[in-house]
Structure 1
Amino acid sequence: MSYAVDFITVSPIGLESSPVVDALAGLRANEARYFKNKYDHVFTVEPASEAGETIDWVHGILKDERDIVIASPPLEATEFEVEGIRMAYVFYQSGLSINVMYTLDDEGKRAVGFKLSDGMEIPDELAARFKFARQRSKLAGTIRGSYFTIKDVH
């Protein structure tokens, strides 16, 4: 069952098994607020059990581009298109959020972003490869983030 993320009243629905549940819920709400304000898009997620195609696409890019395999189980995912950009998000039990921004035109920008919920450690599979910058969020506390550019067409 899909769930429209409310960024006014932050809820942990679907994320309860995370050890950083409140921070992950805040991170998810932060993304929902961004897409509502910038694109007037309602950020709607579905359980990982119903989002296999999206999760497989994101995991395929990680594996093909950087030989990265995420150890934590995915809890939720979403995929949508806004203004010619295909977006996908996967939220993991560890508190990690991965997003793929994939422009649909041939000359576009394509990247994978990583965001770490407040209070979680950097996953081993990312620690040696990326440096994480910090940003503050009213909804999510301190978010640490990093990214890489996608080289191949997926």
Structure 2
Amino acid sequence: MLGSKVLKGEMELSDIVDFKNVTTAGMESSPVAEALAGLRAHEARYFMNKYKHEFTVVPAGESEKTLDYVNRILKEERDIEFAAKPLETSCFQVGNIKFAYVFYEDGLAVNVMYTLDNTKEAGCWI
């Protein structure tokens, strides 16, 4: 399903992830497209159930800012760099937590989350 979201006054087209009818849309080039789509749907279900937030994704080629953000954190805080090709990203805020996701062609998914008021630990999951 195609949806839209507003980020700082700018309109950005994004796909709303349907966790009930899982598709591999956007992940067709991955050799593990079905598993990766299932993971993406699981994240969408989690955010809907816990936060009533629609999980949306943007093609990696249209989300340089999110890719730069995740790559910078991985490099500076974990000394990690990936050669994998990113397929899609998601970046959003729920309450005082900023979430960023990158889904890669080889099946890797990275989640970076930080509280905006610095009251809790930051996290990076691979």
Kindly report structure 1 stretches of 4+ aligned residues shifted beyond 2 Å: none
Report what 1:73 is aligned to: 85
Match of 1:15 in 2: 27
**Overall identity of the aligned pairs, in %:** 56
Matched, 1:107 2:119: yes
Structure 2 stretches lacking a partner, 5+ long: 1-12
The residue type equivalent to 2:64 in the other structure is G
**The 10-residue stretch of structure 1 (68-77 or 99-108) with the greater mean CA deviation from structure 2:** 99-108
Q: Which amino acid aligns with 1:105?
A: D
CA distance in 2, matches of 1:53, 1:108: 24
Per-residue deviation, residues 12-43 of structure 1 (Å, max 9, x unmatched): 00000111000000000000000000000000
Which structure has the higher relative contact order (CA within 8 Å, separation 6+)?
1
The residue that corresponds to 1:63 in the other structure is 75
- Residue 107 of structure 1, CA deviation: 2.5
Number of aligned pairs?
Answer: 114
Normalised to the residue count of structure 2, the TM-score between the two structures is 0.88
Structure 1 gaps, min length 5: 115-154
1:66 Cα deviation from its structure 2 partner:
1.9
TM-score (structure 1 length as normaliser): 0.72
Read off the aligned partner of 1:89 and give its amino acid letter: Y
Shift of residue 109 of structure 1? 1.8
